[in-house]
Chain A
Amino acid sequence: MCSLKYGNKEKKTKSILSRNQSTINFQNVVTSADILRTLIRKNSVRVVDVRKEDEYKKEHIKTAISIPLSKVLENETPEMIVELLEKSGISDKTPVIVYDDTFGALAARVAWTFQFVGHTNTSLLETTFTKWKSYGFETEKKNNVFPKAKHSLKINNDIFANYDEVEKAKSDQNKILVDSRERLNFLSEHIPGATNLPYTMLGTDESILREPQEIKRFMENRGISADDEIITYCGSVGTLSGLAYYALRMGGVKKIRLYSRSFKEWKKLGKPIEEFKDANFWDLSAE
């Protein structure tokens, strides 16, 4: 069942592991299914399933624990997140791989949260749960519990943006505001000055994120350079923009922040928006 693509990546897995005998330190934004399978076999990774709890109960990737996105968002204070990590047996150095079944957007948002509270050794699974299963890779039903671990709190404010910073970015030529919602939502209304990079552009059928050179080309087309400072946002809680955050990171952008409260908060605060009402583009949809 294994695709050719995964077959090719097997070699890379071995070399990565031989360099890192004890624990792997994730350098890449995404991790291939084959690397994860090896890590699971070696028992040297914590796999985090961010789907709904009952979906986890039905079936999940072998050794995975359940941290649904809703639980992360419920009370999103750094302290609570660290508590969640500790309860899940994740210490400062534990390699963590996050997955979902929503083209990577939920996983991205959770991974970003972990990195925000200081858990840098986090990566996204390249594929979704449905794909993983379709490849015939290892799953199980048992509820995994790990002994409590100790995790420190080191807030990384460099990757977070609040509305105030978004407001300032609007008038700063060197800062780019990226809206990752779908085209028609963006056309209807968006934060003034934002540029649209719909999440639909970021992945393929096989992978939650395209190859880095493709992402780089999309950036280049839009005049975005790796040296630019970027803030990403989307409609409500920062999932789609979480995925865009990682896509742009993959494209080489170093200074990038997520406005996690996104357009929902922006509108609620009565901040200015740019609207376009002179075309009935919604009527083009066939649904």
Chain B
Amino acid sequence: MVLKKEVLNYPDKKHFSPKSSPRWGKEEETEVFGQNVKLFRRGKMSEDDFRRFRLQHGAYGSRLQQNYSMIRIKIPSGEITPEQLQKIATLSEAFSIGSAHVSTRQNIQLHWVQLEDVSEVMRGLVEVGLTTREACGNTVRNVMCSHFAGVCPDEEFDSTPYAMAIARFFLRNPVCQNLPRKFKINFACCSNHGLIRIADIGLIPMKKDGTNGFKIYLGGGLGAASFIGHLLEEFTSEKRLVSTCMAVVRLFDRLGNRENMARNRMRYLVNEMGWEKFQKLVIKERSNVEMTISLETLNRYKLDLESLNIKQLSNGKKLPLINEKVDINSDPYKRWIHSNVVSQKQNGYFVVFVTLGAGDITSSQLRSLAKTIKTYSGEGCARNTPNQNFAVRFVKASDLPEFYNELAKTGLANPGALTMSSAVGCSGTTSCNLAITNSHRLAKEIQSKFIELGLDTEDDLRDSTIKISGCPNSCGQHEIATIGFYGGASRIEGTMTPTYTMLFGGTDGEDGVLGKSVMRVPAKRVIPTIIKIIDIYREERTTNESLAMWISKLINGATKDNGNAKNLDDVKASLMETISLPSAKDDPDSYMDYGNDVKFSAKTARGECAA
């Protein structure tokens, strides 16, 4: 992260030298991939061997079409340069479908790439330093870091360099090339931002007696059975960061379940063994690692602390608009500012969120975003976030109107990025083998409806989230949503119907809790149901109680005594009418899924990796 002098001084000029990003990709891996596709096609490589190889290199089989791949591009810490965005735009246009998809784990995915072209895409990615290596398969997946790291007012220090060093350390590391199952590492900036309790290793930066270190949580994760991570110890000094992570990975490699694919994530090992025992083993393993650590291991871990040092703007403009109340009739720019911009700890700088629909962005939008980042971000790059959008940081208040106008030119200036209206949706039946429902489209439909109704302007809904998965496997992270949904199929009035199980009250962050399953809702009744819930909340809430607070009280069994909806069962009863369907004869559409005009049937194939 070396920036030229004029950037550090932050003059009025709008052009910054692009950040030199780490070179994650390797040219020779693209060659090998191309050769192996040919061997596989000629029958000289078995299907199993090829699948393992393909996944190790980040190409996931597409829905019911093994000749096509979803290419998962790892973006460690979500940090991405304009040059990289432009390259992804070009590659998507040439070899994919002309748009890219931001995932919930800071990856960017290209869908429906012909297997024969995967090596070509990889070749292009390597040119701009990116890799797909170990993006799928039983490896250490993309290392996440809070998109607020470095700018968060509540952080003790910037965890980004540590996340990057850990990502570098494990990439291609022989110790994690064939784990029992995938392995996820997430860094936070503070206790509120970052998915630390739903990862195999989750880390919150903290200082003790002036020393940098982390609060480390282990064994969390979402899926068919989800667990919240356990705290290893009160404080882990930065000196022990590598040995702790190594110890956990090695233990998992040695003791994890290699037989039953449905129960082989580390969280099951922790659960079956019991936390206390696992905790002791980690501590012991760490001593072993520290005693036997080799020079090669030490050299793999390089901490690059030469970080961006933008001085605070001396006359940094405040944003008077940011807390001003807006409504559906407000000026679109004010509405956007209200729901897409937050201030940084650096006085005078702001983080701007770019709203996407369920993470989708076209090639031309990627290009215009790249240009906007180049022009307005003081650090010359952006971060993609688990909410499937982009955060552009170090933007000056005086640049915001122009920034907005630039985004608006390519349809990227929708409001609501930081509100409930930006529903998260996994790729669902648009590309995934495991999906039962079109969660992707549903998330987009919710977003359009919310913006149409102006619900993005309502501050009481702002701390709530909607997250949707197309099956129980939780790539849409439905269990940490205020209102979450996961797809399934139910027979209603004798007709197979796409339905969602609705969950209430999930949260992320250090105090994260998993949502509680409430009821099943037919796919086409999800939007009316959410709106009905908001109506009930408006009637029932006490003053100043946000929707998230009200829902949390509801599932904990405490609501106010007057009013009709006293507890969860009452709310469920009030929703019965909304979720019921007319007869299939009168309204066949309500028994179909979004994006389909034929009778619903649940078709799935073998999953290759559930993320």
Contacts of B427 in A (CB 8 A): 284
In the bound complex, CA of A201 to CA of B99 (Å): 15
Indicate whether B372 reaches chain A with its CB closer than 8 angstroms.
Answer: no
Indicate whether B37 reaches chain A with its CB closer than 8 angstroms.
Answer: yes
Task: Write the chain B residue with the least CB distance to A217.
Answer: B120
How many whole Å from A64's CB to the nearest CB in chain B? 29
In the bound complex, CA of A192 to CA of B427 (Å): 28
In the bound complex, CA of A184 to CA of B360 (Å): 15
Q: Are A280 and B94 in contact (CB under 8 A)?
A: no
**Which of B111-119, B170-178, B570-578 is the interface stretch?**
B111-119
Q: Are B63 and A184 in contact (CB under 8 A)?
A: no
Contacts of A222 in B (CB 8 A): 114, 116
Which among A182, A205, A283 is the interface contact of B430 at CB below 8 angstroms?
A283
Indicate whether B17 reaches chain A with its CB closer than 8 angstroms.
Answer: no
**Which of B250-258, B471-479, B595-603 is the interface stretch?**
B595-603
Contacts of A285 in B (CB 8 A): 97-99, 360, 362
Chain B residues numbered 405-442 whose CB sits less than 8 Å from any CB in chain A = 411, 427-431, 438, 440-441
Indicate whether A168 reaches chain B with its CB closer than 8 angstroms.
Answer: no
Indicate whether A26 reaches chain B with its CB closer than 8 angstroms.
Answer: no
Task: Write the chain A residue with the least CB distance to B101.
Answer: A284
Q: Are A284 and B94 in contact (CB under 8 A)?
A: no
Indicate whether B93 reaches chain A with its CB closer than 8 angstroms.
Answer: yes
In the bound complex, CA of A182 to CA of B98 (Å): 9
Q: Are B98 and A281 in contact (CB under 8 A)?
A: no
Chain A residues numbered 198-218 whose CB sits less than 8 Å from any CB in chain B = 198, 200-201, 205, 217-218
Number of interface residues of A (CB under 8 A): 26
How many whole Å from B189's CB to the nearest CB in chain A? 29
How many whole Å from B145's CB to the nearest CB in chain A? 25
In the bound complex, CA of A217 to CA of B431 (Å): 27
Chain A residues numbered 163-196 whose CB sits less than 8 Å from any CB in chain B = 182-184, 187, 196
Indicate whether A286 reaches chain B with its CB closer than 8 angstroms.
Answer: yes
Contacts of B37 in A (CB 8 A): 221
Chain B residues numbered 85-102 whose CB sits less than 8 Å from any CB in chain A = 90, 93-99, 101
Q: Are A223 and B430 in contact (CB under 8 A)?
A: no
Chain B residues numbered 319-362 whose CB sits less than 8 Å from any CB in chain A = 356-357, 360-362
> Which of A201, A218, A279, A282 has the largest number of chain B CB atoms within 10 A?
A279
Which among B41, B95, B430 is the interface contact of A281 at CB below 8 angstroms?
B430
Given A283-B441, A286-B356: A221 in contact with B34 (beta carbons within 8 A): yes
Indicate whether A158 reaches chain B with its CB closer than 8 angstroms.
Answer: no
Indicate whether B62 reaches chain A with its CB closer than 8 angstroms.
Answer: yes
Task: Write the chain B residue with the least CB distance to A203.
Answer: B94
Chain A residues numbered 218-237 whose CB sits less than 8 Å from any CB in chain B = 218, 221-223
In the bound complex, CA of A201 to CA of B96 (Å): 9
Contacts of A184 in B (CB 8 A): 97, 112
In the bound complex, CA of A182 to CA of B41 (Å): 23
How many whole Å from A237's CB to the nearest CB in chain B? 22
Q: Is the interface of B mostly helix, strand, loop or mixed?
A: mixed
How many whole Å from A85's CB to the nearest CB in chain B? 35
Indicate whether A278 reaches chain B with its CB closer than 8 angstroms.
Answer: yes
Q: Are B596 and A281 in contact (CB under 8 A)?
A: no
How many whole Å from B76's CB to the nearest CB in chain A? 24
Indicate whether B594 reaches chain A with its CB closer than 8 angstroms.
Answer: yes
Which among B99, B429, B593 is the interface contact of A286 at CB below 8 angstroms?
B99
Indicate whether A287 reaches chain B with its CB closer than 8 angstroms.
Answer: yes
In the bound complex, CA of A200 to CA of B427 (Å): 24
Q: Are B440 and A201 in contact (CB under 8 A)?
A: no
Given A223-B41, A284-B101: A279 in contact with B430 (beta carbons within 8 A): yes
How many whole Å from B114's CB to the nearest CB in chain A? 6
Indicate whether B64 reaches chain A with its CB closer than 8 angstroms.
Answer: yes
Contacts of A187 in B (CB 8 A): 65, 68, 112
Indicate whether B141 reaches chain A with its CB closer than 8 angstroms.
Answer: no
Interface residues as binary, B9-51 with A (CB distance below 8 Å gives 1, 0 otherwise): 0000000000000000000000000100110010000000000
Q: Are B362 and A286 in contact (CB under 8 A)?
A: yes
How many whole Å from A180's CB to the nearest CB in chain B? 13
Which among B120, B356, B603 is the interface contact of A221 at CB below 8 angstroms?
B120
Indicate whether B396 reaches chain A with its CB closer than 8 angstroms.
Answer: no
Known A-B contacts: A218-B120, A284-B99. Give 8 more (CB < 8 A).
A184-B97, A200-B93, A223-B38, A280-B594, A280-B595, A284-B440, A285-B97, A287-B99
Nearest first, the 4 closest Cβ-Cβ pairs linking A and B are A286-B360, A280-B595, A283-B441, A279-B63
Q: 27 A-B pairs, CB-CB below 8 angstroms? A: A183-B96, A183-B114, A187-B68, A196-B114, A200-B95, A201-B95, A205-B90, A221-B119, A221-B120, A223-B38, A278-B63, A279-B64, A280-B441, A280-B596, A281-B97, A281-B112, A281-B430, A283-B440, A284-B99, A284-B101, A284-B111, A284-B360, A284-B431, A285-B362, A286-B357, A286-B361, A287-B362
